[in-house]
Chains A and B, each alone.
Chain A
């Protein structure tokens, strides 16, 4: 796609492991956004989700001045003008919504990151989980499955726990076994779920110590919708955490904003 310098409307397309998101912005305003499951084709998901966002804004492809793709599928988005990593985009997106943010905790489907953000929205330092699923959304999905819960139910369920189970397993497979034996011991579902949240939170909290937590801390990514993980993270790092209204689209938003910079 050719760069349209006259047009100040830009898009960010974030293709993650679980979902694809597109945000369309113009001059500091969000025009529209869309989220769909990624499915098995990055290219198709990117096109579909962008078409949806364009439709919502009443626009079409040629109206876009610049497109930046991000997320793990960023290099598979044919119509993007540039690919930027989701770490840079998250910092930018959070900075736009919450200028006071200095630390971003992003927990997505397949990985998690702790990002230090400068006043100008640039990244100061970051750390990303290694190939292990513990400390990611995938871990929560597996555990929800083991407990026969819907992933959305987990947050609210955990809030009623009086004594969260201690689950320190660093491995998804082992944690699964652990769940089974804890259930055999008669622990309640609430305590188990709260324990799972604590395990995810403590893994991410520790990982981020090499970057350091500075206020304001902001929590993004799909898992940020889970109130239980948020609470556990707050106690893990000892600081209050803010969650943007649409935590899932921050990467795409950042990409769209960066795309705007490309035009000026």
Chain B
């Protein structure tokens, strides 16, 4: 598609563009993913947000061993590796790193950037449940973040700018969601792999360019004639789906299945809800980013997320679930144990659990398992 090409051209020159912006005095603000950092606040103080969501490469994981023992989540170790290796330009040009602290894995990114890279790092906490006190605490964190951003950039965040940023981000989310939902169709007009790339682009790309491209993509996809291809439909869920870590997507779709929805912080949680900009805007942000947002595995009650996943599987009419987790992300590992039983009892479809440490040796066995799983799904469909 022509519009997708436009977007990838933009991404290819994005580092240069950001360098130029930075030389002109614009602050680049990186943030750790997980979905609890409202980009709106960064835009509203005239800075540019950059999501640290690169992953899948073995080298940074190896590199991280010099800074933290290997028993932390693979993705988080990779972030430390990218920063310390110095080969990934985006990781080297940040003026400030924001880390919403969810668990110790994410917190480790903050600690290592602080100590080893001497970066300016700002943390704020994400409680592990959603009562009114938790909401207040998260909101207090957002206020602290706002103060930090204002002090750091020297620009006050006023309602007009914040509202403008919310409108911009809402439009992006709306488009991503609309494109994503096209996959509800019997014959999805785009592969999961293609959609994930669009979604990931939104963590790095200039929002105006992105929105423009997404509008054309949506149009093109709507006009695209049905392919006539049917394949098993898969819900992909798990701990982190990093930019560049596409092995599960590629192998699954190469074997003839469609990934129709990705339940990850770097997947649907990123675009599913919009901010409702009425009343106090800070509360509106907390409402969207904390209260209404679908919770990850370290949230309680954990049943909320699992019930939601079951609903999602029904809603997208999937034939199977692939649970993709990274090594040492203990919350997901434990949750998968009882989720598997729920899937069996409530949906009667198969679930495949795979784990990665971004190691090249994983590919062979992984392909075997995925291909077998797809055969099982196909058999289930026919039966």
Give chain A nearest CB distance to B14 CB in angstroms: 27
Q: Is the interface of B mostly helix, strand, loop or mixed?
A: helix
User: Do A177 and B361 touch across chains, with their CB atoms under 8 A apart?
Assistant: yes
With known contacts A168-B58, A168-B359, A169-B359, A177–B365 Cβ distance under 8 A = yes
Question: Is the beta-carbon distance between B364 and A178 smaller than 8 angstroms?
Answer: yes
Tell me which of B65, B357, B364 contacts A181 (CB under 8 A): B364
Residue on A with the closest CB to B81?
Answer: A206
CB-based nearest B residue for A209:
B66
Q: Are B63 and A174 in contact (CB under 8 A)?
A: no
Contact residues of B between 326 and 383, Cβ < 8 Å to A: 357, 359-361, 364-365
Q: Is the CB of B364 within 8 A of A206?
A: no
Closest CB in chain B relative to A61 CB, distance in Å: 46
The verdict on A207 contacting chain B, using a C-beta distance below 8 Å, is yes
Which residue of chain B is the closest to A178 with respect to CB atoms? B361
B357 cross-chain contacts in A, Cβ below 8 A: 170
Instruction: Report the bound CA distance from A167 to B65 in whole Å.
Output: 17
Structural contact, A206 and B359, CB atoms closer than 8 A: no
Report if A210 contacts B (CB, 8 A): yes
B151 neighbours in A (Cβ, 8 Å): none
| In the complex, per-residue mask of B32-63: 1 if CB is within 8 Å of any chain A CB, else 0 | 00000000000000000000000000100011
Q: Give the chain B neighbours of A169 by CB distance below 8 A.
A: 359-361
In the complex, the chain B residue whose C-beta lies closest to that of A171 is B361
B62's partner among A168, A171, A174, A181 (CB-CB below 8 A) is A168
List the A side residues contacting B360 at CB < 8 Å.
166-169, 178
Kindly provide the distance from the CB of A200 to the nearest chain B CB, expressed in whole angstroms. Answer: 13
Distance in Å: Cβ of B87 to nearest Cβ of chain A: 14
When A168-B359, A170-B359 are in contact, do A177 and B65 touch as well, CB less than 8 Å? no
Which residue of chain B has its CB nearest to the CB of A165?
A: B360
Contacting pair B66 A174 (CB below 8 A): no
Q: Does A158 contact B (CB under 8 A)?
A: no
Our count of residue pairs bridging A and B at CB distance below 8 angstroms stands at 35
Assess whether A167 is in contact with B62, with CB atoms less than 8 Å apart.
Answer: no
| A175 in contact (CB, < 8 A) | yes
Q: How far is the CB of A232 from chain B (nearest CB, A)?
A: 14
**Nearest B residue to A184 by beta-carbon distance?**
B364
A197 to chain B, nearest CB (A): 15
In the complex, how many residues of chain B place their beta carbon closer than 8 angstroms to a beta carbon of chain A? 11
Q: What's the minimum C-beta distance from B192 to chain A, rounded to whole angstroms?
A: 25
Flag whether A22 is at the interface (Cβ < 8 A). Answer: no
**Contact between A207 and B65, CB atoms less than 8 A apart:** yes
Contact bitstring B57-86, A, C-beta under 8 A = 1, else 0: 010001101100000000000000000000
Complex CA–CA separation, A91 to B357 (angstroms): 35
User: Which residues of B sit under 8 angstroms from A203, Cβ to Cβ?
Assistant: 62
- Are A206's CB and B58's CB within 8 A? no
Q: Which residue of B lies closest to A210 (CB)?
A: B66
Chain B minimum-CB-distance residue to A202: B62
Question: Is the pair A206, B65 in contact by a Cβ cutoff of 8 Å?
Answer: yes
Compute how far the CA of A209 lies from the CA of B62 in the bound complex, rounded to whole angstroms.
11
Listed residue (B63, B359, B361) with the most chain A CB atoms within 10 angstroms of its CB: B361
Q: What A residues does B365 contact at CB under 8 A?
A: 177
Residues of A within 8 A of B63 (CB): 206
How far is A136 from B256 in the complex, measured between Cα atoms in Å?
Answer: 41
Residues of chain B within 8 A (CB-CB) of A170 are 357, 359
For A210, list chain B residues within 8 Å (CB).
66
Determine whether the beta carbon of A177 is less than 8 Å from that of B364.
Answer: yes
Known: A168-B359, A168-B360, A169-B359. A209 touches B58 (CB 8 A): no
Cβ contact within 8 Å between B66 and A167:
no
Bound-state CA distance A68–B365 (Å) is 49
Closest A residue to B358 by CB, please name it: A168
Shortest distance in angstroms between A162's beta carbon and chain B's nearest beta carbon?
19
Known: A170-B359, A178-B364. 19 other contacts (CB 8 A): A166-B58, A167-B361, A168-B62, A168-B361, A169-B359, A169-B360, A169-B361, A170-B357, A171-B361, A174-B359, A177-B361, A177-B364, A177-B365, A178-B360, A178-B361, A203-B62, A206-B62, A209-B65, A210-B66
- Which residues in B have some Cβ–Cβ distance to A below 8 Å? 58, 62-63, 65-66, 357, 359-361, 364-365
Sample 17 A-B pairs with CB under 8 A, ordered by A number: A166-B58, A166-B360, A167-B360, A167-B361, A168-B359, A168-B361, A169-B359, A169-B361, A170-B357, A170-B359, A171-B361, A174-B361, A177-B361, A177-B364, A177-B365, A178-B361, A178-B364
- Contacts from A to B (Cβ < 8 Å): 166-171, 174-175, 177-178, 181, 202-203, 206-207, 209-210
Q: Which 7 A-B pairs have the closest CB atoms?
A: A209-B66, A169-B361, A181-B364, A178-B361, A168-B58, A206-B65, A168-B360
